[in-house]
Chain A
Amino acid sequence: MSQTITVIDVYHGLNRFLGTIPGELAKNAFELILFTLVTYMVASEWTRSRDEHKERLQWLIWGFGFLSAIKLLSTIALSYLVLGGLQSPLLFSHVSILDNVFEILAVIMISIGFLQPVVSDRHPTLLPRRRYFIMGFILLGGGLFLLLSGTIKTHLHIVELYRPAFFEFNLAKLLLSVGVIFYIISHKKAFLSYSRYYPNVIHALVVYAITPILHIINLAIYNNQSGELLVLAQPFPFIAVLLFTRVIFLQLADKAALYDELARTEAKYKKEKELSDLKDDFVSVVSHELKTPLTAISLWSSLFLKNKLGKVTKAQKDAILIIKKETTRLSSLINDVLDLSKLEKGKMEIKPQQNNLRTICNLDSFRALAQEKKITLTNSVPEHILVRVDAERFTQVIYNLVSNAIKFTEPGGKIVLSATQQNPSTIITITDTGIGIPPEKISGIFSKFYQVDNHLTRKAGGTGLGLSISKHIVELHRGTITLQSTLGRGTTFTITLPNIVRN
């Protein structure tokens, strides 16, 4: 029994201390630190938020900022008093008035900050009339009483050194709290879907409302004489702020947890996608499905040709050779399509290595064809040029350009392949004296399936993918490919390769 009394005594003692000026100073200093911390916490969250969340946090920053500012003022004023400076109760009362005004404004702003996502038009289920009524009620209540209190303030000359219990201020605070509580309750579903901590906000408001109620009782019943009630009412606003802070903190912790979860889910998804991609990668599947029957056709044609299935007549041999030729053609078409598919998806890997350009530009395989067409093919690439390229892929480019040149040059024409190494790039040119490309067709020449329609392309066929693939490959090497052409005179393709290619 005696123990319980002691606890109550301690509580009373503490509260009485808090009622004195040094006590008030201690309380204000402590609150200053807390509010500044919360403001900082919300502000740093604000900098990391997306725009749609920023507005809500802005209200909270203002609210807690106001509270921090007034606590700073109070702390300074009380320090003067405590340190024995000014013995001015009037300063203290002015600070107290500001304290109350700022507190009401802060509570309005914090309330808007918590209500904001529901109040804004994102929740069209809210009945406009009710919304405006409640918000108006809150603001009206607060505003009216601030006005009244301002008027009354001018008639007050002496104020008790205890926390002033202005009826107006307290009623304003009470109405604010109750108004916001009603608002939240009337839109319970909307609020709960936004955050599961809204009940905690209601708790905070209820706690906050206790102090004004006690002060009003004090004024109304005890004629502002009950020191006990004043002291009893001390801690509640502070506890209310702690509860508000807890809600903010819980929401931030939730957000962090969600981010973590999101990151983990994303990583998991990426991994699964990679595995699934590997299995049914377009290129893999198509490549296998197309090349398998092609292989079967090719093999059996060859076996036929080699008399493994019985001796073949000349006519049969010619027929089979046609089949084989078409198989080869089909095979290179498939390779082109697959290459382009890989390039467009960014899935082609090149392995650049130091290579002798002359070796890569080996045109021996074209000699027979050029001779047949009576075209002069000259390779004037110097011996000493070294380039960092993926040999296989870059050869593909050169071969494509040279075979195009042969395709579009009439008998008696000339094709020259040459190169110079400068700083910072190596320049390779393929010049032909062929039929050239009409000017309006030049810009589209590198797009896929693009073909300048004339008798030569129709005869030679081709997918129209070669130049598109070549351009992609050159660009993978961080180079550029351009062309110049004069109709009837010839075409020059120029490849520019930077001398340093990073992997």
Chain B
Amino acid sequence: MASKPTKSTVLIIEDEHSIAKAQELILSEKYTVHLAHDGLSGLEKVKQIKPDLVVLDIMMPKMSGFEVCKEIRKEPGLSSTKIVMVTAKNQDKDEALGMELGADDYIMKPFEPEELLHVIHQVLQR
């Protein structure tokens, strides 16, 4: 019996519901998508469901994307989880900081659906 290859799990941590839903719609065809709307609950979900990749917005209330990234990287059990950060390119150092904290790649707002799919596909291949 041929088994269908399981879809990778992607967790989207984004506080703007409109963007989160759009991202879910874009990705749900190829991946199993979960959502979280702030850093704290996002971190909980990461530990809970252990997704293959996290799409992480930077500017979030309570806990910024940078902090979530740091926390994920602290967990030994999550070392294989990939992280893609979503930046609005506020400072030129946003990307550098993200990479330093352990993100695998980043994508800049505003982006096209293809760009998101492309980056996620690339990162999951690594």
Report which A residues bind B (CB closer than 8 A).
281, 283-284, 287-288, 291-296, 298-300, 302-303, 306, 308, 327, 331, 348-349
Interface assignment of B9: CB less than 8 Å from any CB of chain A: no
Report which B residues bind A (CB closer than 8 A).
16, 18-19, 22-23, 25-26, 59, 88-93, 109-113
Nearest first, the 7 A-B pairs at minimum CB distance are: A299-B22, A284-B90, A295-B110, A296-B18, A291-B88, A298-B110, A287-B90
- Subset of 18 A-B contacts with CB under 8 Å: A281-B90, A283-B91, A287-B89, A287-B90, A288-B59, A291-B110, A292-B109, A295-B109, A295-B111, A296-B16, A296-B18, A298-B110, A298-B112, A299-B22, A299-B26, A303-B25, A303-B113, A349-B93
A292 in contact with B22 given A298-B110, A302-B113, A327-B110 (CB within 8 Å): no
A300 in contact with B110 given A287-B90, A288-B88, A288-B90 (CB within 8 Å): no
Q: Would you call B19 and A295 a contact (CB within 8 A)?
A: yes
A294 in contact with B22 given A283-B90, A284-B91, A287-B88 (CB within 8 Å): no
Task: Tell me the complex Cα distance, A293–B88, Å.
Answer: 11
**B10 CB → nearest A CB, Å:** 16
Task: Tell me the complex Cα distance, A133–B50, Å.
Answer: 90
Task: Tell me the complex Cα distance, A180–B94, Å.
Answer: 67
Best-buried of A281, A308, A349 by chain B (most CB within 10 Å): A308
List residues of chain B with CB within 8 A of the CB of A284.
59, 90-91
Question: Of B19, B59, B91, which one neighbours A299 at CB under 8 angstroms?
Answer: B19
Task: Tell me the complex Cα distance, A302–B113, Å.
Answer: 7
Q: Would you call B88 and A302 a contact (CB within 8 A)?
A: no
- Majority secondary structure, A binding face: helix
**B103 CB → nearest A CB, Å:** 18
List residues of chain A with CB within 8 A of the CB of B111.
295, 298-299
Task: Tell me the complex Cα distance, A493–B90, Å.
Answer: 30
**A415 CB → nearest B CB, Å:** 30
Question: Of B25, B26, B109, B113, which one neighbours A291 at CB under 8 angstroms?
Answer: B109
A299 in contact with B90 given A291-B110, A327-B110 (CB within 8 Å): no
List residues of chain A with CB within 8 A of the CB of B26.
299, 303, 308
List residues of chain A with CB within 8 A of the CB of B110.
291, 294-295, 298-299, 327, 331
Q: Which residue of A lies closest to B86 (CB)?
A: A295
Best-buried of A292, A294, A298, A348 by chain B (most CB within 10 Å): A292
Q: Would you call B113 and A300 a contact (CB within 8 A)?
A: no
**A175 CB → nearest B CB, Å:** 72
Q: Would you call A292 and B23 a contact (CB within 8 A)?
A: no
List residues of chain B with CB within 8 A of the CB of A298.
110-112
Task: Tell me the complex Cα distance, A284–B58, Å.
Answer: 11
**A391 CB → nearest B CB, Å:** 13
**A290 CB → nearest B CB, Å:** 8
Q: Would you call A299 and B23 a contact (CB within 8 A)?
A: yes
List residues of chain B with CB within 8 A of the CB of A293.
18
List residues of chain A with CB within 8 A of the CB of B23.
299
Q: Which residue of B lies closest to A347 (CB)?
A: B91
Q: Which residue of B lies closest to A393 (CB)?
A: B92
Q: Which residue of A lies closest to B29 (CB)?
A: A308
Q: Which residue of B lies closest to A294 (CB)?
A: B110
**A433 CB → nearest B CB, Å:** 36
List residues of chain B with CB within 8 A of the CB of A331.
110
**B65 CB → nearest A CB, Å:** 11
Q: Would you call A308 and B112 a contact (CB within 8 A)?
A: no
Task: Tell me the complex Cα distance, A303–B25, Å.
Answer: 8
List residues of chain A with CB within 8 A of the CB of B25.
303, 308
Q: Which residue of A lies closest to B23 (CB)?
A: A299
Best-buried of B88, B89, B90, B111 by chain A (most CB within 10 Å): B88
Besides A281-B90, A292-B19, A331-B110, 12 more A-B contacts (Cβ < 8 Å) are: A284-B90, A287-B89, A288-B59, A291-B109, A294-B109, A296-B19, A299-B19, A299-B110, A299-B111, A300-B18, A302-B113, A308-B25
Task: Tell me the complex Cα distance, A284–B113, Å.
Answer: 24
Q: Would you call B22 and A300 a contact (CB within 8 A)?
A: yes
Task: Tell me the complex Cα distance, A284–B89, Å.
Answer: 8
List residues of chain B with CB within 8 A of the CB of A303.
22, 25-26, 113
List residues of chain A with CB within 8 A of the CB of B89.
287
Best-buried of B89, B91, B110, B113 by chain A (most CB within 10 Å): B110
List residues of chain B with CB within 8 A of the CB of A283.
90-91
Q: Would you call A296 and B91 a contact (CB within 8 A)?
A: no
Q: Would you call B113 and A306 a contact (CB within 8 A)?
A: yes
Task: Tell me the complex Cα distance, A292–B91, Å.
Answer: 16
Q: Would you call A292 and B90 a contact (CB within 8 A)?
A: no
Q: Which residue of B lies closest to A306 (CB)?
A: B113
**B11 CB → nearest A CB, Å:** 18
Task: Tell me the complex Cα distance, A331–B112, Å.
Answer: 13
Q: Would you call A302 and B19 a contact (CB within 8 A)?
A: no
**B96 CB → nearest A CB, Å:** 10
Q: Would you call A299 and B88 a contact (CB within 8 A)?
A: no
Task: Tell me the complex Cα distance, A288–B109, Å.
Answer: 9
Q: Which residue of B lies closest to A331 (CB)?
A: B110
Q: Would you call A296 and B22 a contact (CB within 8 A)?
A: yes
Task: Tell me the complex Cα distance, A349–B96, Å.
Answer: 13
Task: Tell me the complex Cα distance, A292–B18, Å.
Answer: 10
Task: Tell me the complex Cα distance, A303–B18, Å.
Answer: 13
Task: Tell me the complex Cα distance, A253–B93, Å.
Answer: 45
Task: Tell me the complex Cα distance, A298–B90, Å.
Answer: 19
Task: Tell me the complex Cα distance, A349–B91, Å.
Answer: 9
Q: Would you call B109 and A348 a contact (CB within 8 A)?
A: no
Question: Of A292, A308, A349, which one neighbours B92 at CB under 8 angstroms?
Answer: A349
**B111 CB → nearest A CB, Å:** 7
